[in-house]
């Protein structure tokens, strides 16, 4: 004879915990408030973790504070945040920057058109091209990255917001590369900000997560689609994001200072053709960087003599920096776009997107700056 197990006891600390608990529970006991919430859409009470979870909410609140956003909602990845946001703001036409992350490009040029949406792509740095594309037909969404991946092209967010809003469109900005440490797009007119929280927000290369930030009404609409598309964030992953955010400013202080020092040293190296870093006076969009960015950021892109083959050789001589995809961790990560983030583009398409033959993308971690710089200079010297 078997008996039904008793309900587990609810253990609640008498005082508030310093670290938010990980609510590793798919479901929660129901009461009248939960039933009422379910009948109204299930968006506020905690009763099923695909809809909302306390740990996930805690991480979202931290990021909302960093971005100065009214509301935020976490997703299972940065791409989940991007795709769900765009599908929420559609139907309609999208005008997007040509210089975007490779998987975002696939979404824009392959997936959304296959679903029947009209997508136009323009040079992120050309306001006249933006204006012409937005005016060419009714536009619902304008999409850009603050700093493009991997070119580090900076979008003039305030000017682009004016163009979008004049046409009745929403401006969606991916702020992953720039981070809220350097730029807050909502303050410059963006309507929605998305992040791969996998990167600088979590900062430890140990979690996949995304986040959407906007006004409360817009975030609620996106939350509804996260629920139906299933792109919710696991509570343990949310805890790792929350934990990473506690050292966000400290990490970015170090990483941005290292990136600035590295960019200067690379610019003086005869084996380097060019350096792209928004904190340098010779950056192509330095005037806009001065208006938008508080620092030059933690990302550096540089092009070596000898093309992609030389870039790969340099990368594989490194002993401090690590060859890996992703970015924003406490360790310095380095990659070559031709065989990673933008491998799906032809050489001609990469050139059109200003991805140079021989480009290396580097995300500065928190190592000692001189140790990292010496590692890169040695790799350049020994691959001549």
Chain segment 221-231, per-residue pLDDT in tens: 999 999 999 99
- Which residues are catalytic, by number? 50, 101, 174, 199
In this structure, CATH architecture of domain 32-245: 3-Layer(aba) Sandwich (3.40)
What is the per-residue pLDDT across 245-277, written as a single tens digit (0 to 9) for each?
999 999 999 999 999 999 999 999 999 999 999
- The encoded tokens of residue 94 equal 């999208």
pTM: 0.94
State the pLDDT confidence band at 34, using cuts at 50, 70 and 90.
very high
Q: Are 144 and 178 in contact (CB under 8 A)?
A: no
Across the chain, what does the average pLDDT equal?
A: 95
Walk across the sheet containing 210-214 and list its strands. 71-75, 210-214, 192-196, 170-174, 141-145, 94-97, 119-122
In this structure, the strands spanning 210-214 and 71-75 are antiparallel
* Phi-psi label, residue 261: left if phi above 0, alpha if psi -120 to 50, beta otherwise: alpha
| Structural element, H or E, at residue 338 | none
pLDDT number for residue 1 = 46
End-to-end CA distance of the chain: 78
Q: Which of 166-175, 242-251, 343-352, 356-365 has the lowest mean pLDDT?
A: 343-352
CATH topology assigned to domain 249-381: 3.90.1150
Bridge partners, 213 (sequence order): 72, 193
pLDDT number for residue 12 = 73
Residue 235 has pLDDT above 80, yes or no: yes
Dist. CA 234–CA 164, nearest whole Å: 34
Q: Give me the mean pLDDT over the 333-350 stretch.
A: 84
Dist. CA 112–CA 114, nearest whole Å: 5
Q: Are 90 and 211 in contact (CB under 8 A)?
A: no
Dist. CA 199–CA 206, nearest whole Å: 9
> Domain ranges in the chain?
32-245, 249-381
What is the per-residue pLDDT across 42-59, written as a single tens digit (0 to 9) for each?
898 999 999 999 999 999
């Amino acid at each position: 004879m078997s008996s039904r197990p008793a309900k587990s006891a609810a253990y609640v600390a008498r005082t508030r915990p310093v670290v938010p608990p990980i609510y590793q529970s798919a479901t929660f006991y129901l009461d009248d408030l939960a039933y009422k919430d379910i009948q109204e859409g299930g968006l506020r009470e905690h009763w099923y973790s695909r809809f909302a979870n306390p740990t996930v909410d805690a991480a979202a609140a931290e990021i909302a504070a960093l971005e100065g956003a009214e509301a935020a909602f976490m997703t299972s990845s940065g791409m989940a945040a991007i795709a769900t946001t765009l599908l929420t703001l559609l139907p309609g036409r999208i005008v997007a920057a040509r210089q975007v992350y490779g998987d975002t490009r696939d979404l824009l040029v392959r997936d959304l058109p296959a679903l029947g949406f009209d997508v136009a792509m323009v040079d992120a740095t050309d306001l006249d091209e933006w204006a012409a594309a937005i005016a060419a037909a009714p536009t619902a969404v304008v999409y850009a990255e603050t700093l493009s991946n991997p070119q580090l092209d900076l979008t003039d967010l305030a000017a682009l917001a004016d163009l979008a809003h004049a046409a009745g469109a929403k401006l969606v900005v991916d702020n992953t590369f720039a981070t809220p440490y350097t730029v807050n797009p909502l303050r410059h007119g963006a309507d929605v900000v998305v992040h791969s929280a996998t990167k600088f927000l979590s900062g430890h290369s140990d979690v996949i997560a995304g986040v959407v930030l906007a006004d409360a009404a817009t975030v609620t609409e996106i939350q509804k689609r996260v629920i139906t598309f299933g792109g919710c964030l696991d509570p343990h992953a949310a805890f790792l994001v929350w934990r990473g955010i506690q050292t966000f400013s400290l990490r970015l202080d170090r990483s941005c200072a290292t990136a600035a020092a590295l960019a200067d040293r690379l610019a003086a190296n005869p084996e380097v053709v060019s350096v792209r870093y928004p904190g340098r006076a010779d950056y192509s969009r330095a005037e806009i960087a001065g208006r938008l960015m508080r620092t030059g950021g933690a990302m550096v892109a540089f092009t070596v003599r000898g093309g992609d083959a030389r870039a790969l050789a340099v990368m594989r001589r490194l002993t401090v920096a690590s060859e890996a995809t992703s970015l924003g961790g406490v360790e310095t990560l380095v990659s070559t776009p031709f065989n990673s983030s933008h491998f799906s583009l032809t050489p001609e398409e990469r050139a059109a997107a200003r991805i140079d033959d021989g480009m290396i993308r580097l995300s500065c971690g928190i190592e000692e700056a001189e140790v990292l710089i010496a590692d890169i200079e040695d790799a350049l010297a020994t691959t001549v």
